[in-house]
Chains A and B, each alone.
Chain A
Amino acid sequence: MTSKYETHENDVLIIGAGGAGLRAAVEALAQGASVGVVCKSLLGKAHTVMAEGGIAAAMGNVDSGDDWRTHFKDTMRGGKFLNNWRMAQLHAQESPDRIRELEQWGALFDRTDKGDILQRAFGGHTYKRLCHVGDRTGLEMIRTLQDRGVAQGIDVYMECTITGLLKDGDRIAGAFGYWREQGRFVIFKAKSVVIATGGIGKAWKVTSNSWECTGDGMALAYDAGAELLDMEFVQFHPTGMVWPPGVQGLLVTEAVRGEGGILRNKNGERFMEKYDPKRMELSTRDVVARSIYTEVKEGRGSPHGGAFLDISQKPAEYVKRKLPSMYHQFKELADVDITKGPMEVGPTCHYVMGGIRVDAETTASSVPGLFAAGEAAAGLHGANRLGGNSLSDLLVFGRRAGLAAAEYAKKSTAPNIDNAQIEAAEKQLLAPFERTTGENPYTIHQDLQEMLQSLVGIFRTADDLTRALGELEKFKARAALMRVEGSRLFNPGWHLSRDLRCMLTVAEAVARSAFARQESRGAHSRIDFPKTEDAWGKKNQVIAKKGEAMTLSEVPVREMPAELKQLLAEDK
């Protein structure tokens, strides 16, 4: 009945080939499932390669006092206690094993004098905790997982975009999409699906994220009936490049500060003394980003509207060895030698703490057979993520997702594919080709980025957010009428027309959640509600689709067991 379309069948289908997707694939395969991984880019190019600073794990190789309890406490504090405590606990407990596993699969981390994995300091972490390879940790991780997965026998469907999840009644049945190369449609039939599609940063103008980060997985899951949690918490990384214009937003790793980098304003003042005298540059990202933003806004910024970040007090050879890609990035793209002078940096949209609401142990969403891990899922990081906790998140929950998805697949029968769902998806995808008038998707995307940047940024107000929600309605109307030129053969304009729909869904979820949360907490700063309110500390917000409408509700933060409460109370 589906002979019209190319069809692939696996027990477990994983959408996304970054750290979480590949780790899930390796685990599902180890459980005996047949595994397909589908990704928008070539294998090995996912945004995980951009992760620079390191993977947080309480291994205690450098600071022997470290243990999972301290990592747990740091994560909960960084997340302003909105985190799912169980996820934070599992993450802190399991990260060291996940790192050792990577090493056993061939990863080569920087070493201590004793021959162990070296660990560096990072914002919000009590101890030196980040396992790293210079400033290219993400590349090491993705290459290791990719090699492992390929050697074990995953099916990889590269340069393929999933445009919708398929369901058989309530349960998941697979996914529908197109090959980017030819524009041909394709069906993936699967007993369980893991969403590991990463973030949403490409909806903002100044971002560290690549073209892939358009919130696809969240939008797919939302459309399939899953819930989104904590969407108001969008992390602006304090240090992105600010000049030249073409690289605005490009990440400058926190490892620069971890290795001793100092922030100054145009008057030469080390301004973090004012905002967080105790932790200074190694305060949490929300605090440092707001501090830089405030310095610039009050007229103390650098020539191109940022702050100065200086590591040149360290020996040049040390800087080149520990931060090689930063050295090259600034030298080649900005004509700055970071061993001799300061960089100019400013906040850049980097990460979303919110995402698909999942079960802590299994990463299961509310849709039977649908799982989610990594940035696409929510819960671990609460209101603000600590640097280094993302890569460990990918490993810990990527593995758990692969495990649970394989177990689910074992227990279930092959689903049925419903042709009507596919025909509707196909019609929607091809509509922009049929219009003779209408806007170019690039124009709409650019306007959306400008709008979110100015109305749903680091500091928010009810007025701005109300305006943003109004604007989003207009954007939806414009997107419904956009036009795509050319053929279906590798056509980026067409690809964007579809990614744009996902961005509009997640942008609305962010704006609605941000409007409703009348307090400031972690990465969510309301100028009109500057205080952190105890009452709001007991609530998470959930976005769900009811009919065609987006609805928002509150759910209580999960109660922590007494022994963990005790742990957090100890050194207050």
Chain B
Amino acid sequence: MSDVTVRVFRGDRNGGAPVDYKVPLTEGMVVLDALHSIQAHQAPDLAVRWNCKAAKCGSCSAEVNGRPRLACKTRMDSLPLDQPITVYPMKTFPLIKDLVTDVSWNYRVNAKIPPFTPRPGVEWKMYQRDVDRVQEFRKCIECFLCQDVCHVLREHHLQEEFGGPRFFVRTAGLDMHPLDGVSRVAMARKELGIGLCNITKCCTEVCPEEIHITDNAIIPMKERVVDEFYDPITMLVRKITGAKST
């Protein structure tokens, strides 16, 4: 088989530029295989995260030909091979080196979300139909591609006010757990700024786990926010009783 040109961003916080590498194409090759070939034969210090090589750990996120994807799941033969294949780091996160970015912000947001808290005295019985929708959310491999593509983070840099799709998925998963006894609706509204999402569904499009992020997690959470904070009857009750909205 022939050689392919892979154009990989090389650089660190002080700047960088793409570098072209010729890589021999093999059958069934994925972009991560090409990066490994570059490491082994041309640039041993090329920085790229990876672990499972099977789309189960979400480590090898990058922007391939401009699209956020898992390098381990992107087949070379699904891309036009007559032109260079570009591989860039995720743009939304600060660069560390080459394809490795600083994703620590995600871990800080995650730590703010109240964990699963079972209702007191609950009986540990659950039925498949009740766990199905939460199991969809728990498929998340934390590749952060949804965070990378979300324009609230990518273009508007609202990291301080906005949690991003990954954490709406986690929050929804906890709130919809059949035995959970805590509401995270107020936190989704305030700390995670769910109102800033204008449901363009970019996150859903790039999710390698095919989680229906917008339809099944974000919209239901937005509806809960509306029910709790903007429902006219609730607002009236609040006015009469003098209870403050949180």
- Footprint of B on A, CB under 8 Å? 41-47, 49-50, 100, 103-106, 108, 110-111, 113-116, 133-134, 136, 139-140, 143, 147-148, 150-151, 156, 158, 181, 210-212, 243-247, 250-251, 325, 328-329, 332-335, 440-443, 446, 484-487, 489-494, 496
> When the two chains form their complex, are residues B56 and A325 in contact, meaning their CB atoms are under 8 A apart?
yes
Output the nearest chain A residue to B102 by Cβ-Cβ distance: A181
A–B Cβ pairs within 8 angstroms, 24 of them: A41-B49, A41-B51, A41-B59, A42-B59, A44-B57, A49-B51, A49-B57, A106-B174, A113-B127, A115-B125, A115-B127, A139-B56, A246-B26, A325-B54, A325-B56, A329-B54, A333-B28, A485-B44, A489-B96, A489-B97, A490-B47, A491-B45, A492-B45, A494-B45
Which of B130-138, B189-197, B220-228, B236-244 is the interface stretch?
B130-138
With known contacts A108-B177, A147-B115, A47–B139 Cβ distance under 8 A: no
B45 touches A139 (CB 8 A): no
Tell me the complex Cα distance, A103–B177, Å. 11
Tell me if A148 and B57 are in contact (CB < 8 A).
no
Q: Does B27 contact A (CB under 8 A)?
A: yes
0/1 interface trace, chain B 163-187, chain A, CB 8 Å (1 if under): 0000000000010010010000000
Distance (whole angstroms) from the CB of B31 to the closest CB of chain A: 10
Q: Of the candidates B30, B41, B44, B141, which one forms a contact with A139 in the assembled complex, judged by CB atoms under 8 Å apart?
A: B141
4 closest A-B pairs (Cβ-Cβ)?
A244-B28, A486-B45, A106-B116, A493-B44
Nearest-neighbour CB distance to chain B for A151, whole angstroms, equals 4
**Interface residues, chain B, with chain A CB atoms under 8 Å away:** 12, 26-30, 32-33, 39-41, 44-59, 73, 75, 96-98, 100, 103-104, 107, 110-111, 115-116, 118, 124-128, 131, 134-135, 138-139, 141-142, 174, 177, 180
> When the two chains form their complex, are residues B39 and A492 in contact, meaning their CB atoms are under 8 A apart?
yes
CB pair B28 A246 closer than 8 Å: yes
A442 and B40 within 8 A (CB): yes
11 more A-B contacts (CB under 8 A) besides A41-B59, A484-B44? A41-B51, A100-B124, A106-B177, A113-B127, A245-B26, A329-B55, A333-B28, A333-B54, A442-B41, A492-B44, A494-B45
| A497–B106 CA distance with the chains assembled, in angstroms | 30
Residues of B near A210 (CB, < 8 A) are: 50-53, 57
Which residue from chain B places its CB closest to the CB of A440 in the assembled complex? Answer: B44
Judge whether B52 and A49 touch: CB under 8 Å.
Answer: yes
What CA separation (Å) do A45 and B52 show in the bound complex? 8
A116 to B126, CA, bound (A): 7
Residue of B nearest to A103 (CB): B124
Q: Which residues of chain A are within 8 angstroms of B53 by Cβ–Cβ distance?
A: 210, 247, 250
B56 near A243: Cβ-Cβ < 8 Å:
no
CB-based contact B27/A244 at 8 Å: yes
Contacts A150-B111, A210-B52 given; does A333 touch B75 at CB 8 Å? yes
Cβ of B75 to closest chain A Cβ, rounded Å: 7
For B115, the chain A residues whose CB sits under 8 A away are 105-106, 147-148, 151
Cα distance, A440 to B40, chains bound together (Å): 8
Q: Assess whether A211 is in contact with B54, with CB atoms less than 8 Å apart.
A: no
CB of B138 within 8 A of CB of A133, answer yes
Among the interface residues B29, B118, B135, which one has the most CB atoms of the partner chain A within 10 A? B135
A442 to B59, CA, bound (A): 21
Contact B98–A490 (Cβ < 8 Å): yes
Taking CB atoms, residues of chain A closer than 8 Å to B97 are 181, 489-490
Cα A106 to Cα B135 in complex, Å, equals 11
Q: How far is the CA of A43 from the CA of B115 in the complex (A)?
A: 17
A111→B127 contact, CB < 8 A: yes
> CA A103 – CA B131 in complex, angstroms?
12
Tell me the complex Cα distance, A334–B30, Å.
11
Q: Which of B12, B30, B56, B141 contacts A489 (CB 8 A)?
A: B12
Question: In the bound complex, how far is the Cα of B53 from the Cα of A212, in angstroms?
Answer: 12
**For B111, what are the chain A residues with a Cβ–Cβ distance below 8 Å?**
150-151
Residues of B within 8 A of A110 (CB): 128, 131
CB-based contact B134/A108 at 8 Å: yes
Q: Chain B contacts of A42 at CB under 8 A?
A: 49, 59, 103
